[in-house]
Amino acid sequence: MQKFSYPENLYPFQSKWTTINGNRIHYIDEGQGETILFCHPPVTSSFMYRNMIKILSKHFRCIALDFPGFGLSEINPAGKYTPSIHAQAEIVAGLMEMLKLDSVYLLMQECGGHAAIKAFIEEPEKLKGIIITDTIIFPVSGYPKIKKMLSMINGSVFNFINSNFNLLIAAMTRFGINNRKLSAEEKKIYKTIFRTKEMRRTSTRMLHQLVTEENLLQQIQAAFETTFNTIPALIIYGEKDPLTGMGIPRRIKTLLPDSELYLIKGEGHFPHEGEPEKMSKLISDWLNKK
């Protein structure tokens, strides 16, 4: 198989590499200033944040990784790594240790955010602030529609179609981004990120962990109610994200007294792609007030 790389015209960053738990990890480290750590969800990689990082790295230090088995990062076939939220938390902790990060603003999104929060639960003093984007931090047992959807995604029929036709990525690029149309090249990159059947299965298994890891979601909710409830937080969701319609961002805001909530007008579950300029301005304005 031909070696995959991000095209420089879309992803104009210097790729860096390290080894964590035996896995070859790709990451970028751009700009100077307050540190923002981007942790991607199971349907993408650091590629999703490229347009935000182009803007934010002019004033802040932006670090974004690809988790093992996603993007350019590789799982060591001779190792014991199995993709999971717990395993990804160890990768986040390892990267922070390697880069000597002790004061971080976390941009969390879906499972990548859960993994990072799990890492910060062990070292809460390193978390300076949280940017919560299109994420559920509560057990999905309290949201039957989400639980049903995630169970369907992990079912045999969907997995067969997704494994053979990359359905999850096709749905993400078509229905999750409202305010901007991806170019043909951008769509191709997203499909290529999940270029093997195993990568596509890994994505659905990771999403389904939001159902199976009930205890972890309880732990994360408890952390937001106690350990992290005094930390500054910026909450940004797409106005048309189904999570917004369920009241999740407003519920999160009630837990965090020092928080601001913004809804991106017309946008869906991935405003990072649909409205990167608006996302970046909200983040920049918020950080400049700190």
Q: What's the CATH number where 48 sits?
A: 3.40.50.1820
DSSP, collapsed to helix, strand or coil, labels residue 236 as strand
- The verdict on residue 257 lying in a domain is yes
**Is there a contact between 282 and 265 (Cβ–Cβ < 8 Å)?**
no
* Cα–Cα dist 92/65, whole Å: 9
- The verdict on residue 256 lying in a domain is yes
Pairing label, strands 35-39, 16-20: unpaired
- What is the per-residue pLDDT for 1? 46
Query: Is pLDDT above 60 for 224?
Result: yes
What percent of the chain clears pLDDT 90, i.e. is strictly above it? 96
Dihedral (Cα; 227, 28, 71, 26), 10-degree rounding: -90
- Please, which residues bridge with residue 263 across strands? 237
- The verdict on residue 65 lying in a domain is yes
pLDDT in tens, 35-73: 999 999 999 999 999 999 999 999 999 999 999 999 999
pLDDT in tens, 88-138: 999 999 999 999 999 999 999 999 999 999 999 999 999 999 999 999 999
- Please, which residues bridge with residue 65 across strands? 27
Q: Where are the alpha helices (DSSP H) in 6-165?
A: 50-56, 85-99, 110-122, 144-153, 156-165
- The verdict on residue 171 lying in a domain is no
- The verdict on residue 156 lying in a domain is no
Compute the residue count for the chain: 290
* Cα–Cα dist 191/173, whole Å: 10
- What is the per-residue pLDDT for 290? 77
Q: Which residues contact 3 (CB under 8 A, 6 or more apart)?
A: none
- The verdict on residue 276 lying in a domain is yes
Q: What is the DSSP letter of 32?
A: S
- What is the per-residue pLDDT for 50? 99
pLDDT band, very low/low/confident/very high, at 2 (cuts 50, 70, 90)? low
Q: At what angle do helices 110-122 and 197-212 cross, to 10 degrees?
A: 60
- The verdict on residue 3 lying in a domain is no
What percent of the chain clears pLDDT 70, i.e. is strictly above it? 99
Instruction: Provide the domain limits for residue 58.
Output: 16-140+215-288
- Cα 274 versus chain centre, distance: 15
- Please, which residues bridge with residue 13 across strands? none
DSSP, collapsed to helix, strand or coil, labels residue 17 as strand
pLDDT in tens, 149-203: 999 999 999 999 999 999 999 999 999 999 999 999 999 999 999 999 999 999 9
- The verdict on residue 6 lying in a domain is no
The count of structural domains within the chain is 1
